[in-house]
Structure 1
Amino acid sequence: MTSQLSHRRPTNLDFFWYGVPYYPEHWSEEDRRDDPQRMAAAGINVVRMAEFAWTRMEPSQGVFDFSLFDQTIDRLAEHGIRTILCTPTATPPRWLTARHPEILRMDNLGRVMSHGSRQHASHMSEIYRTHSVRITRAMAEHYRDHPAVIAWQTDNEFHCHFNEDHNASTQVAFRRWLAERYDQDIRKLNAAWGNEFWSLTYDNFEQVDTPKSHAPGRYNPTHRRDYTQFLSDAVTLFQQEQIQVLRAVNPRWRIFHNGTFSNIDYRGQFTRDLDFLGYDCYPMFHKQGLSRPWIQANKLDKTRGYSGHFIVPEQQSGGGGQSGDGVDESYLHDSPEPGEMRQMAYRSIARGADGLLFFRWRSCRFGVEQYWQGLLDHDNRGRRRYDEASKLGAELKQLGPELLGTTVKIDAAVAGPDFLVHESHRSCTLGLPAPDTVGEWVHRELTQRGVSIGWVHPTDDLAGVKLYIVPHWAWFDPAYVAPLEAWVKAGGTLVIGAWTATRDANNHISDQTPPTCLADLCGVEVDDYSRINNIAERPRQLQFEGMVEPMAANHWAEALKLRAGTKVLATWQSGTFAGKPAATIRPVGKGQVIYIGTWLSESLLATVSPLLMQWSGLSKTWPDSPQGVEVVVREASGRCLWFFFNNTQAPVTFASLPKGERLLDFAADPSTLPAYGVGLIKA
């Protein structure tokens, strides 16, 4: 547990966790008999269990039976395999929901969730929270001194299927939360929400409801933003109550949660209560096959940006799928190509995972996920997925100790992730791409150019970062300005996107000239602005200095007014703002601040990124990496681990490589990687 979150924060594990989620409750004694030996043979040293086994452990209220898990944990321990247990609160037993239907969640249309799936119980229900603490305490006390139980996962994938709640308990909790937030003074809420608009003024907190989908028009944006902050705080409290029990029983246990999903602030108290985050990694959810490596890389980098190094409690091994019932569409992923499963696992490791568990050990024969492939097939035989996992297990026995204590090297960063920035935008989007979406475009563009880029919050450590891009943060905390200015003065290049710092802490438009608190640092003011809705009929073109042809702007245009010492980088060529500055640059100490008065669209980034690299002194992580090769570096004092990924379907050959010991696929051929190959150089 820590109060300091940073993209460089280590997990401090004493060995690299390698394993599988395991569900002994799904299998007969005959199925389970040889599992420990087969796991150990594959190099597995840890399993995760019990996240959906509440009914098995408590078949009726107050009657506990842990015998299946006792036997399983002991058998695994005999083969050197440790256990991660989970609080099973994503799936309450039927006896509980039947006795207390009031604990069921309600969607924004007023429909009560029914028993028969998962995540249907309310985190705001005091009755459910009492039972959550009770089952957590019973499990913790039972396994208090078991030497093979080393860690706990809280619940399972909070907000995965359903990230809102509007039931009666939630209404009470939301009003209580608002009263505390606004010092028991409804006038402060009315002022913060701007309730004079549309005569929305409340007389007391009991009159306030959660924002359901029953309104003929749009909800007040600050009402909406407060509600999502409340949802995050509510699930944080739900988790906190479990963590308090676990830490009181055995403070040596490591505790994490597997995410990451919406309406949770992963840079807030939710994560500070944990030892580290977990990220469930399923690249095959994304149908764009050629983009999967970047999509996976971006999500891993964003997870690291929340709080530092992490583990992957669920790493995709085969095709995943869930059955549909006419309401939710059925799906089944592609299966990874030979070698791709191992490559995806190494990508997770290279980008910050200090533990990895393949989902799942054996393909289930029943239930919604009966087509979700595991390392073993339905016939209990291990084929290519088990073989690839075994190969990786053997490699990690040697590599694991080298990984622990290293951090991921980055030369550029995009600002984020930030919960309030995201929610401020989501509550009032104007149809504009979200900051996180634009951040992903930035990440992809620079990754494809071979640059090592990460996600770093403005309050985090920017040491070693040459280029930092803030993509349209409408709400920008003035406290961020001073550390960013110090970083720029030391030599950094800061890029600020249009629309940044235009709202205040209440999500209202500021009465200061944009970019408000950033105006002095940027040396610029926004004199006028316009939405760009129809590029074909009303094109807005701008031209950067030194470029032969103008280019089209997308989404947004700002006419800029320069302050002393600021220079023009781009000028509007058409439309209302023709002849006025569109982008600027201002030297600050050894660095510079660039303001771009339009949206950082994919087309603009493709054009401007080479210029940004040139101005900031950025270069490819490895200059001779061929097209289609991804390079990631993990480093620590005295050692450097260079990962090379061939993301193509054909072998690639390198003209040069860093000096050092050549491992993994480079051990077989020191200059060539096969399709989906992974090479490692230990320097």
Structure 2
Amino acid sequence: MSTLNNDTLNIGVCDYPEHVPQNEWGVHAEQQRALGLTYVRLAEFSWAKIEPKDGVFDWQWLDEAVATYVAKGLKIVMCTPTATPPAWLVKKFPHILAVDAQGQTMRFGSRRHYDHASETYRKECKRITTEIAKRYGQHADVIGWQTDNELGHEGTAVSYGGASAERFPKWLEARYQTLEALNEAWGCAFWSQDYSDWSQICPPNLTAVRQPNPSQALDYQRFCSDMIDEFQQLQIEVLRALSPDRFITHNFVIFAQEFDLYKVAKNLDFVAWDSYPIGMLEFFATWESEETKTEFARTGHPDLVSFNHDLYRGIKGGKDFWIMEQQCGHANWAQYNPLPAKGAVQLWTAQAWAHGASCVTYFRWRASHMAQEIMHSGLLQQDGRADRGYQEVKDFDPSQFALEKVDAKVALLHDYNSLWAYNLQPHNKDLNYWHQFMMFYSALRELGVDVDIIHPEQLTDKQYALVVAPALTLMTDKTASILNLCAKSCPIVFGPRTAFRHDSGRVANKGQFEFIEELVGIKLANFDSLRPTLEQTIRCTNHNTDFTAKLWCESYEVNSAVATHTYTHGPMAGLAAVTQKDKVSVIGALSTGLISSVLMEALRGAGIETYRLPKGLRLSKRGNTTLVQNFNQQAVEWQGVTYPGVSFTTLE
């Protein structure tokens, strides 16, 4: 397999030679190599340039572009151009277009406007992938491939009509075998929703006056995830056959939730993702103050960025990942797009390395003169002058960053089925899966602890000192078995809503915790969804310390466990809010202070060193090197050392 430097960090750039005159290509390539870049990503949106008419190919421009970069010593990451089916193809096959939740068919004029289940579009994608793989699959300087582009992003994972609507009943029949089994799994006795023929089942949109059946919606999300998996697998099979010794990856996105990444990434060599720290601030939604967003408006919040790094490292079981698009100036797509602080591009690059990145690719080389991304910056401005990020990349020395292993001692359990089930019925408009998950993640990061974000089934691959399950809402027999085995050698901390549903999305017959009742030693008493003006006070029974909870509280009946924290007033007064049985704890309330306190005790019990880090200061360890990162724009003092604003420092 063709690779880059295997010892230290590599850096590259996304470039679009088709957007600028050909006489500028050589100058750009020379500048890129002088900047220390080692590779260029090409062609992910170029189908219409490669095949301007049905069956008529123009390879000359791409051949010459590749030759120009290679002549300057750069390597090529080639992309399949399937994210942008050209106008002639849509005109020829209009039935490949996706249908939105309102039943409207998408039109040509943007990107990812196709239905992943369409056999016609899959056939066309296999054809264009075959052609480009034949052309460049054995090229000496094409080191690898990116499939498509940001699969499922911007709401494009789901189509509610066309091929998806036709395929969904067949997918269900394969899953459930009989309508009786489906009706039972979905709880179709409710509101007279029973089906007597597979053809009666439609996608879960336009369902009259109320929400669709949540079990149906959960299965539709699984179905759409499988369609994306099949769609990508067709391209992987072509690339494996025609370019067998090159890597294959895909560029996923921030907080991806549209499909099961553990499945979709299974046959990739490694995963990549597109990092835009400033735009990422909007993923705080309603749960973080505007004051905090303003504080990190020019650097991005460190935990939102690092979460995605840890997620994508964990998807492939701790394998190094790539940043396929790294913000290097202002973006264009967020609600607000401030200019990054001086030093932010270097800080983001170092942070990515510290969490397990082996390559960082800046987006993009030169700012676009045209179309939807005119307002998006590049390393060069639109007139060719160096932009702010250019100088930062020039002053950054990637050879100083060795590609050692990230060896986290704490695992955070993440599961897409739990995510989908949680978000289908959040029971509080200000709450969702990511909000709850990030409360636990940030608490650990604020304590200076490195974590692996993994699927529960990955617990069998590595021994951890502590396992934390922030929002493992959906429980199966297999997961329960793994957790019961894990608890024999490792402490576990569960968050609210744990094991509330089984695989169909229904509540277990014996209620919450049915699958792990012996493990936790409690039963649910009740839950409380709080208005923004409501709070619950929780007292630690051992230390007489009070914590304030918002949004969500659960109370428990204690059987073989003990209550370590109880509610002091309101309808849950006197009932358990946090419990412990042996080394297994359950936190039932969403309180930043409470979560941090319980996790700190668990970490100490597991022999893991903790710190009290100042706001915006984070630690990440890779190999024997600890990276101290300051995301504040002002200097911060910690342990007698002053760390400049927007900076990173390596400690051996």
TM-score by length of 1: 0.87
Indicate yes or no: 2:437 matched with 1:455. Answer: no
- Partner residue, 1:478: 477
1:342 and 2:316 matched: no
CA distance in 2 between partners of 1:303 and 1:145 (Å): 28
- Judge which range, 156-165 or 550-559, deviates more: 550-559
With over 3 angstroms needed to count, the CA separation of the structure-2 counterparts of 1:559 and 1:100, relative to structure 1, is: closer
Question: What is the match of residue 302 of structure 2?
Answer: 293
| Cα drift, residue 431 of structure 1 | 2.4
Does the residue aligned with 2:581 lie in a helix, a strand or coil? strand
**Secondary structure at the counterpart of residue 304 of structure 1:** helix
Distance 1:487 1:158 in 2: 34
1:420 corresponds in structure 2 to: 417
How far apart, in 2, do the equivalents of 1:654 and 1:575 lie?
40
Please state if 1:680 is matched with 2:650.
yes
Give the aligned residue type for 1:583.
Answer: V
Residues 1:12 and 1:567: Cα distance change in structure 2 (over 3 Å) = farther
Give, in whole Å, the separation in 2 of the partners of 1:442 and 1:181. Answer: 34
TM-score normalised according to structure 2 size: 0.90
Contact 2:8 2:400 in 1 (8 A): no
CA offsets 1:424-454 (integer angstroms, 9 cap, x no match): 2123322273343211111112212322234
Q: What is aligned with 1:660?
A: none
Counterpart of 2:557? 561
Letter in 2 for 1:582: A
The answer for unaligned runs of 5 or more in structure 1 is 2-9, 323-329, 657-670
Aligned to 1:445: 443
Partner of 1:391: 395
Describe the shift of the 1:108–1:611 C-alpha distance in structure 2 as closer, same or farther (beyond 3 A): same
Shift in Å at residue 514 of structure 1? 3.3
Contact between 2:378 and 2:387, CA under 8 Å: does it hold in 1?
no
* Partner residue, 2:621: 633
Q: Do the aligned residues in 2 keep the contact of 1:472 with 1:599 (CA within 8 Å)?
A: no
* Aligned counterpart in structure 2 of residue 283 of structure 1, from 254, 277, 285: 277
1:265 to 260, 268, 273: 260
Q: 1:543 and 2:547 equivalent?
A: no
Q: Which residue of 2 aligns with 1:661?
A: none
**Residues 68 and 415 of structure 1: CA distance in aligned 2, closer, same or farther (over 3 Å):** same
Number of the residue aligned with 2:465: 466
Superposed, 1:237-256 pairs within 5 Å as: 237-256=230-249
Q: Give the match's secondary structure for 1:341.
A: helix
DSSP-derived class of the 2:249 partner: strand
Q: Deviations over 1:363-395 (max 9, x none)?
A: 111111012111111111224321211222xx1
Distance of aligned partners of 1:501 and 1:654 in 2 relative to their CA distance in 1, 3 Å threshold: closer
Kindly indicate whether the alpha-carbon contact (under 8 Å) linking 1:254 and 1:275 is maintained by their aligned counterparts in 2: yes
8 A Cα contact 1:653 1:673, kept in partner: yes
Selected match of 1:357 from 352, 357, 361: 361
Question: Does structure 2 conserve the Cα–Cα contact (< 8 Å) formed by 1:332 and 1:371?
Answer: no
For the Cα contact (< 8 Å) 1:452–1:620, is it kept in 2? no
CA RMSD of aligned residues (A): 2.6
In the alignment, residue 619 of structure 1 is paired with which amino acid? E
Q: Is the 8 A contact 2:635 2:645 kept in 1?
A: yes
* Alignment partners' CA distance in 1, 2:5 and 2:180: 47
The one of 205, 228, 235 aligned to 1:212: 205
Residues 277 and 179 from structure 1, CA distance in 2 versus in 1: closer, same or farther, beyond 3 angstroms? same
Quick check: 2:540–2:566 contact (8 Å CA) kept in 1? yes
Secondary structure of the residue aligned to 1:368 is: helix
Of 39, 48, 52, the residue aligned with 1:59 is: 52
- Contact 1:410 / 1:464 at 8 angstroms: preserved in 2? no
Residue type matched to 1:677 in 2? S
Change in CA separation of 1:603 and 1:654 when aligned onto 2, cut-off 3 Å = closer
Shift of 1:608: 4.2
Cα distance change of structure 1 residues 510 and 487 upon mapping to structure 2, 3 Å threshold: closer
Matches within 5 A, 1:40-119: 40-119=33-112
SS at match of 1:319: coil
- Counterpart-to-counterpart distance in 2, 1:650 and 1:535: 32
- Structure 1 residues 124 and 673: alpha-carbon distance in aligned structure 2, compared to 1, 3 A threshold: same
Indicate the residue corresponding to 2:577 in structure 1: 582
Residues 292-326 of structure 1, C-alpha deviations (whole Å, 9 max, x = no match): 2222112212222322321010000000115xxxx
Letter in 1 for 2:353: I
- Matched AA of 1:631: L
Q: CA deviation at 1:540?
A: 4.2
Q: CA distance change for structure 1 residues 559 and 56 in 2, over 3 Å: closer, same or farther?
A: closer
Q: Per-residue deviation at 1:487?
A: 3.6
Change (3 A) 1:678 1:557: closer
In structure 2, the CA distance between the partners of 1:463 and 1:573, relative to structure 1 (3 Å rule), is same
Alpha-carbon distance in structure 1 between the residues aligned to 2:614 and 2:423: 39
Partner residue in 1 for 2:225: 232
| CA distance in 2 between partners of 1:12 and 1:180 (Å) | 46
Output one character per residue of 1:589-613: Cα deviation in whole Å (capped at 9) or x when no partner: xxx11123x2333353355444444
Stretch of structure 1 that moved more, 289-298 or 251-260: 289-298
Larger deviation, residues 457-466 vs 446-455:
457-466
> Following the alignment from structure 1 to structure 2, what is the Cα–Cα distance between the partners of residues 153 and 407?
24
Q: How many residues align?
A: 629
1:59, distance to aligned residue in structure 2 (A)? 0.7
Task: Give the conservation status (yes or no) of the 8 Å contact 1:529–1:556.
Answer: no
